[in-house]
Amino acid sequence: MTVGAGHAVARLAPALGALMTHKAKIDWWIATALALGVLAPLAGAKLWITIPLFLAVGICGYPQYYQTSEHGLIIRAGLIRRVIPYNAITFVGPSGEGSFSFAFSLDRVAVRYGTNAGVLIAPADYRAFLEDMAGRAKHLTRRGRDLVLAFA
């Protein structure tokens, strides 16, 4: 509930059928390193190297966003689109893993699903993302900064 101009205004949560989009966080130094790595061959007039690098980074990593739909979490990274059904998700929480990910930030969130699968993402607003996921994945419960299986 927020107060504005002397009136209390209730904030309505989005309907569960609504598609919510969460922007991806991009660390400035990772973006700079990627740009330098792609553009550095231009200094040596190596266009044949620059163009494939530029296309690979662009196709695999941009745009990035995460959507919560009626049926599951949609992860979009470039041309890659992955849908994870809510009932398969077993954990959502901050991760310090250093493994490969298309997330352009070290403030990563682990989404584990199935028996032994997972993906690292980097939503710009972790709290909003977690609230959205908590409202949609009813089998998960909040434990600190994480969402875990209710019976775990």
In tens, the pLDDT along 108-147 reads 999 999 988 999 999 999 999 999 999 999 999 999 999 9
In a domain, 13, yes or no: no
CATH number, domain of 32, equals: 2.30.29
Q: Is the dihedral of CA 131, 73, 97, 79 positive or negative?
A: negative
pLDDT tens by residue, 67-112: 999 989 999 988 889 999 999 999 999 987 766 677 778 889 999 9
Mean pLDDT, residues 51-62:
73
In a domain, 66, yes or no: yes
Read off the pTM: 0.74
Q: What's the confidence (pLDDT) of residue 120?
A: 92
In a domain, 68, yes or no: yes
Secondary-structure breakdown of the chain: helix, strand, coil percentages, each rounded to the nearest 5: 30, 35, 35
In a domain, 34, yes or no: yes
- State the residue range of the domain holding 72: 18-149
The total of structural domains in the chain comes to 1
CA–CA separation, 17 vs 5, rounded Å?
Answer: 31
pLDDT tens by residue, 12-50: 445 556 789 999 897 777 777 777 776 677 677 666 766
Q: What's the confidence (pLDDT) of residue 106?
A: 82
In a domain, 4, yes or no: no
Q: What's the confidence (pLDDT) of residue 4?
A: 44
In a domain, 11, yes or no: no
